Amino acid sequence: MEKIIVNYLQRGKNAIPLYEDTVKIASECGYRLYLQKIDSYDFFCKGKDNLITKLRYNLIKIPIFIKSLIQIPKNSKLLFIYPNPFGILLPIFFFLLHKKKCYITLLCTDIDYFRGMNKYLTKDLNNLNSADKLIFQTSNMLKRCREVGVKTPAEIIHFFDFLTEDSAPLTNGKENYRVAFAGNYNKATFINQLEKLNYSKIKLLVYGISNNSTSPNWIEYRKGFPFRKISEVHGDWGLVWDGNGLDNNDINNLHGQYLRITIPSKAILYIAANMPLIVWEESGIAKFVEENHLGLLINSLYELEEKILSVSEEEKKKIEENVKIFAQKIRNGEMLKAVLNKIDQE
């Protein structure tokens, strides 16, 4: 049975590191790349969002749909990244591939329904149930999918990989007072309220925002950095927090709800950079972080300083050692490799 990773490179979108890493890791596991290029919706429409344009966009997928069905060999073990550009046509595509006796695994990097896009529930449900195996990010994602009717057998990856040859700063994780935050600031509007916290013994290093001269001295704004340059990210802890508020009640918005089931890319970055995590206790990765001693769980940013200062030297050392183990794993692609090898043995 030939192993193939099927990737649809969408013109008009920036390269997604997660997709690039997935292709490379799968190739190391014996998967051959089958690549087709297709316009993204935004690139094709160029601001013209109307019924005729949508129809034309879906029609341009048909030749690629047919070409893929013809070229993908019978009896193949296939790995797809989800979401997939075929959209509502995906169950038909998979049905026809099953006719060719193919085995289909979906690596779920995103699920529209859980982003608050309720109109996509039927689409996501049908798509996920049309595969033979799913790879979910967290146990919370698996649980939520089961609650809405996803029945396909699944594995959990726990952390996505982060391939880089860059080295983390030797000082990362060694002290106990520098907390780094690097993320999507459109989702992390709590940054605008940081001055309410009034920390006195820790320093918050905020990456990617211009310096604010009026900020208190415990907040240090630093320039952004290239995605894979972990050598430019410094800190003893990496903060995983989203939404517009500083405590549990405020984080519980749309971004907070999504944080309940996903692996935030910032968490992967921190681990790759040898930084222990500080995560919301209701987040999707909280259980894994706690069970593997990879950091601290908090309910509110108001308790952040107290939590950090309460960590003993022995506990911090144990956390540092475990973080280094997982840092090595995700920098080498071992998280996805472990899941793919398990599926290959079934």
Note whether 185 and 51 are same-domain residues. no
Position 172 in a domain: no
- Interior/surface letters 150-174, b for 16+ CB within 10 angstroms, e for the rest: bebebbebbbbbbbbeeebbeebbe
Note whether 78 and 149 are same-domain residues. yes
Note whether 201 and 93 are same-domain residues. no
Position 341 in a domain: no
Q: Provide the number of structural domains found in the chain.
A: 2
What CA–CA distance (Å, rounded) separates 170 from 43?
42
pLDDT for 315: 95
Note whether 187 and 102 are same-domain residues. no
**Region 210-227 average pLDDT:** 81
Percent of the chain topping pLDDT 70: 93
**Do the Cβ atoms of 303 and 329 come closer than 8 Å?**
no
Q: What angle do CA 243, 309, 139 make, to 5 degrees?
A: 45
Position 168 in a domain: no
Note whether 116 and 189 are same-domain residues. no
Position 161 in a domain: no
Report pTM: 0.92
Note whether 212 and 100 are same-domain residues. no
Note the pLDDT tens digit of each residue in 317-345. Answer: 999 999 999 999 999 999 999 999 999 98
Position 163 in a domain: no
Helix (H), strand (E) at residue 346: none
Note whether 139 and 188 are same-domain residues. no
pLDDT for 70: 96
Position 32 in a domain: yes
Rg (CA), the chain: 21
Query: In the chain, where does DSSP find H-type helix?
Result: 17-28, 41-45, 51-71, 90-99, 121-129, 139-147, 248-251, 254-259, 265-272, 286-291, 304-309, 313-331, 334-344
Position 339 in a domain: no
Note whether 263 and 299 are same-domain residues. yes
Note the pLDDT tens digit of each residue in 62-77. Answer: 999 999 999 999 999 9
Note whether 88 and 203 are same-domain residues. no
**Region 279-294 average pLDDT:** 95
Note whether 126 and 188 are same-domain residues. no
3-state secondary structure 189-201: HHHHHHHHCCCCC
Note whether 117 and 226 are same-domain residues. no
Name the strands in the sheet holding 103-108, side by side, starting at the edge strand that comes first in the sequence.
32-39, 3-11, 77-82, 103-108, 133-136, 154-156
Give the end of a domain, one of 156, 190, 213: 156
pLDDT > 80? residue 108: yes
What CA–CA distance (Å, rounded) separates 188 from 37?
33
The CATH number of the domain holding residue 9 is: 3.40.50.2000
What CA–CA distance (Å, rounded) separates 299 from 83?
31
Note whether 206 and 146 are same-domain residues. no
Secondary structure class of 333 (helix, strand, coil) = coil
Give the end of a domain, one of 93, 126, 156: 156
DSSP calls for 18-78: HHHHHHHHHHHTTPEEEEEEEE-HHHHHTT--SHHHHHHHHHHHHHHHHHHHHHSPTT-EE
Q: Which domain holds residue 9?
A: 3-156
Position 297 in a domain: yes
Residue 217: what are its φ and ψ, rounded to 5°?
Answer: -70, -10
